[in-house]
Amino acid sequence: MATQPFDDRDGFIWMDGALIPWRDARCHVLTHALHYASSVFEGERVYGGNVFKLSEHSQRLETSADILGFKLPFSVAEIDAATNAVVKANNIVDGYVRPVAWRGSELMGVAAQATRIHVAIATWQWPSYFDPAAKMKGIRLDHATWRRPDPVTAPSHAKAAGLYMICTMSKHNAENRGYDDAMMLDYRGFVAEATGANIFFVMDGKLHTPKADCFLNGITRRTVIGLAQARGLEVVERHIKPEELAGASEVFLTGSAAEVTPVREIGEFSFTPGAICKLMMDDYAAAVRKPPVSAAA
C-alpha cells in the first residue's frame, strides 16, 4: 500500500530552534551526515498527547551526540520543550516522534569539526500496529547474516545512524524471504537483538535477555524489565547462545516502535506466545498511558 512521502506532508517540523512548515525542513545534498553518517536520532511514541519517557529520550540524544564527538546546541530541557511544541502544533494524540541531530554542509571530508550541528524534530500519526488479538499471533524472524559489531570498532552505545545500515540490509533480506524481521547475533556469536528492537526469551518461567554490552540498551527494554520485576518475574541478563532458543517457550521484542511484540518463529525455532507475552503487553500498554509526573510533583 502506498504511503504519503515524508517530504510532502502538511504540518510543522521543529528545526534549529523554530517551528517551520513541514515541506521547508530541508538540508543540502553535501550535508556531512549524508556522506559520513555523522548523525544521531531517537524514536519516541506519543500516547494520549504525551511523549512516553520524553526526557530519557532527549538525554540519550545528547549522550549519543557526545559519543560521536559533537555537542547539541540545545539542552535536554529545550529539546523536551521543542518536542512538546511540535506534538501540539501537529495535533498528535497517538503518534511517533523522530528527533535527529547531524553535522551540516560547511565542510566536506572525514574531518569536519567546524560544521554546524543541526537538530530537527518531526512527528506524525501512528496508532498501534495491531489489535491485541492479532498481535498475539506473533511475528516471524529470520536469522540475520550481519552481526552487531565489537564496541571497539563502532560506537555501539550511541543511537547513531551509521549503525543501522546493517539493520536495514538484514531486514530487507528477511522480508525478501517472507519473514517480518531478523534476529542478529553479536560479533562473538551470541544472540543480540532484532534489527530495531531488543529481544526477550521465556525459559523455565524466567525472562532471559541478552546482556546489552555491544548494542543499545533500549528505553523500552529497561521499562519492560522493571515491569517484569514488579510482577515478581526473575529477569536474567546474560550472553545467550543461538542453540538455546530450543529451550524457550515464549519470545517477544521490545522497542518504542515495536512496543511489546510476540514472536512465533525464529528460523527453525517455533514458539507459542502465551501468558507472559500477554502480561508484558498489557502492563506496558497501561504504563505508557499513565499521565507523566510533573517536575513540581
Cell of 103: 553535522
- Three-state SS sequence of 120-148: EEEEEECCCCCCHHHHCCCEEEEECCCCE
- Quick one: which H or E segment has residue 14? strand 12-15
* Cβ contact 218:198 at 8 Å: yes
Annotated catalytic, 159? Answer: yes
> How far apart (Å, rounded) are the C-alpha atoms in residues 44 and 61?
11
In terms of phi and psi (left: phi > 0; alpha: psi -120 to 50; beta: otherwise), the region of 47 is beta
- 164, 170, 171, 173 alpha-carbon torsion, rounded to 10°: 150
The dihedral formed by the CA atoms of 265, 269, 272 and 276, expressed in degrees to the nearest 10: -90
Beta-carbon count within 10 A of 63 CB = 16
DSSP-assigned states of every residue in 63-125 = HHHHHHT---SS-HHHHHHHHHHHHHHTT-SSEEEEEEEEE-SS--SS--TTSPEEEEEEEEE
CA 232 to chain centre: 26
**N-terminal to C-terminal alpha carbon distance within the chain:** 45
* Active-site residue (options: 71, 159, 278, 290): 159
The catalytic residue positions are 159
